Amino acid sequence: EVQLVESGGGLVQPGGSLRLSCEVSGFTFSNYWMSWVRQAPGKGLEWVANIKQDGSEKYYVDSVKGRFTISRDNAKNSLYLQMNSLRADDTAIYYCARAMTTVTTWAYWGQGTLVTVSS
């Protein structure tokens, strides 16, 4: 059974940092592109970043470029999102998601972890 479990969310002050993790099981992690998608409270879905199987390619939405870094550790079956210089509008549930054969079609999602940026 495919499972994705996010962790690391919480309350952080504006300008602070947080590192999200997503531990996966039930599939060969190193074979798939992975992504982070977020959802602000009561709002729609927003793609944040994705990373190639070997980590050699990474892409970000403009609003997080230079502040967020996506990474992975294939030996640990884990995906990460390092978030720096956090702003109030980064407040959201952050989901990790696994691609299908198409890089940005997501058939598997974690349960999400809530990040709240507030003073």
Partner 1 sequence: DIQMTQSPSSLSASVGDRVTITCRASQSISSYLNWYQQKPGKAPELLISAASSLQSGVPSRFSGSGSGTDFTLTISSLQPEDFATYYCQESYSTPITFGQGTRLEIK
Give the C-alpha separation, 66 to 18, whole Å.
Answer: 15
CB nearer to partner 1: pick between 4 and 18:
4
Q: Write down the least CB distance from residue 8 to partner 1, Å.
A: 17
Give the C-alpha separation, 116 to 107, whole Å.
Answer: 26
Question: By rule CB under 8 A, what count of residues binds partner 1?
Answer: 20
Residues 55-114 that bind partner 1 (CB under 8 A): 59, 61-62, 95, 100, 102-107, 109-112
Q: Write down the least CB distance from residue 26 to partner 1, Å.
A: 15
x/- map, 36-55, partner 1, by CB under 8 A: --------xxxx--x-----
Q: Write down the least CB distance from residue 81 to partner 1, Å.
A: 16
- Dihedral sign (CA 36, 7, 86, 68): negative
CB nearer to partner 1: pick between 1 and 62:
62
Give the C-alpha separation, 4 to 11, whole Å.
Answer: 22
What are the structure tokens assigned to 83, written together? 């978030």
Distance of CA 19 to the CA centre of its chain: 10
Pair 9, 78: CB distance under 8 Å: no
Q: Write down the least CB distance from residue 37 to partner 1, Å.
A: 8
Residues 3-42 that bind partner 1 (CB under 8 A): none
